């Protein structure tokens, strides 16, 4: 392949992923062809100083992955994410039913503010209909300084967990689950 074709392909892929480039089926196909995830599916974790609270839970879908974002009021740092046979509710231990072929347990080692604004009218945390990977986002409780979410996914796929600064003085725990291996 000529160097100019390689550079054009990389530029197109990068602009599609960032969201500033061309949109539509052709751009999505080009981005999908370059999706490379070496993330794996083993548990991920970070230590905690427990000095903030969860303020929101939201989702989004991208060219190569679906994203779960847990917004924090301040600097958060404690989390663990892992595939489990069943997600269990904090405190009670009851099984949290999740749609999908695999279940990710997402624990943020921070308490939560009032959860009323988190839920959609149907009682779910996010509307993920039409997402390539996500099937269900469920509340599993907040107990003794930790908050648990259940994430139902299509199948056991690679994921990565990041802690990002912002917006403002807050931070975010971000879980990306790839659309495919």
Residue 149 confidence (pLDDT): 95
- Which CATH number belongs to the domain containing residue 147 in this structure? 2.60.40.3500
Could you give the angle at which helices 25-33 and 3-18 cross, rounded to 10 degrees? 110
Domain count, the chain: 2
- Tell me: the pLDDT tens digits for 66-101? 999 999 998 887 899 999 999 999 888 999 999 999
Tell me whether residue 149 is in a domain.
Answer: yes
Tell me whether residue 38 is in a domain.
Answer: no
- Tell me: the pLDDT tens digits for 94-111? 999 999 999 999 999 888
3-class secondary structure, 15: helix
Tell me whether residue 122 is in a domain.
Answer: yes
This prediction has a pTM of 0.74
Q: In terms of domains, do 13 and 92 share one? A: no
Band of residue 49 on the pLDDT scale cut at 50, 70, 90: low
- Domain interval for residue 119: 44-178
Tell me whether residue 9 is in a domain.
Answer: yes
Tell me whether residue 39 is in a domain.
Answer: no
User: How distant is the alpha carbon of residue 132 from its chain centre?
Assistant: 13
């Amino acid at each position: 392949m000529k160097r100019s074709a390689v550079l054009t392909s990389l530029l197109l892929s990068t602009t599609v992923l960032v969201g500033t480039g061309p949109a539509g089926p052709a751009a999505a196909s080009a981005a999908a062809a370059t999706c490379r995830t070496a993330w794996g599916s083993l548990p991920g974790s970070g230590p905690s100083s427990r000095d903030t609270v969860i303020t929101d839970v939201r989702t989004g879908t991208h060219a190569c992955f679906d994203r779960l974002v847990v917004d924090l009021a301040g600097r958060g740092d404690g989390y663990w994410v892992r595939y489990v046979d069943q997600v269990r509710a904090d405190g009670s231990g009851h099984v949290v039913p999740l749609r999908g072929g695999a279940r990710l347990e997402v624990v943020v080692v921070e308490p939560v503010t009032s959860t009323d604004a988190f839920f959609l009218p149907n009682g779910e945390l996010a509307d993920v209909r039409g997402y390539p990977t996500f099937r269900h986002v469920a509340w599993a409780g907040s107990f003794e300084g930790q908050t648990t979410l259940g994430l139902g996914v299509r199948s056991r796929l690679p994921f990565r967990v990041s802690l990002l600064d912002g917006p403002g003085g807050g931070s975010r725990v971000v879980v990306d689950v790839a659309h495919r291996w």
